[in-house]
Amino acid sequence: MFFQELPLKKIEMMGPEVCRLGFASREIAGKARPGQFLMIKPQAWAEPLLPRPISIHRVQGGMVELLVRVVGEGTRRISSMRPGEILEVKGPLGRGFQVDPQKVPLLVAGGMGAAPLLFLAEKLSRSGARKKNRAPVLFIGGRTKKEILALKEFRQAGLKVLAATEDGSFGERGLVTDRLRDYLEAQSAESALYACGPVGMLKAVAALALKEGLPCQVSLEERMACGMGACLGCAVARKQEEGPGYAKVCQDGPVFEAGEIVWDE
């Protein structure tokens, strides 16, 4: 784990609400694993006080890329940065996806959930995990076409893409989990699910995985202060031997086995 103050190399808006930014850090790029995240904060601003957790979207050589959706003051400040301005970066943090090379990877992305899954997809294609007829599949969904992110990059990484939008503006009309359900009903290959997106979607994916008896990893979100296991702020209810207790999303996750999580809280 590193704490670095790095000049922003590039930043571009991907639409009205989402930006993609990149910086160079050989240390972070070298250690980063798909599913891990960074705590970031523009140095020029004292406020908001706390850094914000953002997934690692892509690593190319020594460059690290992030995809940020503007939802409030912290992400607005991040998105308004200019190249050359200093970003404070802590990471890579947390436990990422643990890929089972024996199984066909099925990636499930809802909205911003596409961000960490591109890193996983590119890692899978680089490690040659896709053999004949065993190419990874991406299930991607959002409310509208605008919310479908990084499609070109996923295709370049060799993933078969099955998309759904709630308004039907891209892919099939409906939910991404509808497409996943149809696929699983028709398909018999040994597969493993890797999902990131809104909690409602993750819950539905976890239920499908349980029904089909498939291994399933989900990436969760919670409010964070430190991102490094020190404040105990990022609690998520987890099944434990002694009964339900709390795990730390930043350290025990953000990627969890779907079966570990207490979904109804």
Ligand X SMILES: Cc1cc2nc3c(=O)[nH]c(=O)nc-3n(C[C@H](O)[C@H](O)[C@H](O)COP(=O)(O)O)c2cc1C
Interface positions with ligand FES (CB under 6 A): 224-227, 229-234, 248, 250
The Cα 186–Cα 197 span in angstroms is 24
Cα torsion 241, 246, 250, 256: sign: positive
Output the CA–CA distances (angstroms, integers) from residue 211 to 10, 140, 218, in the order listed.
44, 21, 16
Q: Which is nearer to ligand FAD, 3 or 173 (CB)?
A: 3
Which residue of this chain has its Cβ atom nearest to ligand FAD in the complex? 72
Q: Which residues bind ligand FAD (CB under 6 A)?
A: 37, 48, 52-55, 67-69, 71-75, 112, 115, 221-224, 254
Which residue of this chain has its Cβ atom nearest to ligand FES in the complex? 250
Of 8-16, 46-54, 96-104, 180-188, which segment contacts other proteins by CB under 8 A?
A: 46-54
The Cα 89–Cα 7 span in angstroms is 10
CB of 182 to ligand FES, least distance (A): 37
Q: Which is nearer to other proteins, 3 or 211 (CB)?
A: 3
Residue 12 binding target from ligand FAD, other proteins, ligand X, none, CB below 5 to 8 Å by type: none
Q: Which is nearer to other proteins, 71 or 235 (CB)?
A: 235
Q: 144-181: buried (b, 16+ CB within 10 Å) or exposed (e) per residue?
A: eeebbbbbebbeebebeebbbbeeeebbeeebbbebbb
Q: Rule CB under 6 A: is residue 235 a binding residue for ligand X? A: no
For the record, the structure tokens of 175 come out as: 């939910």
Of 20-28, 79-87, 196-204, 217-225, which segment contacts other proteins by CB under 8 A?
A: 217-225
Instruction: List the Cα angle 102/193/128 in 5-degree steps.
Output: 40
CB 254 within 8 A of CB 37: yes
Tell me which residues touch ligand X (CB under 6 A): 231, 233
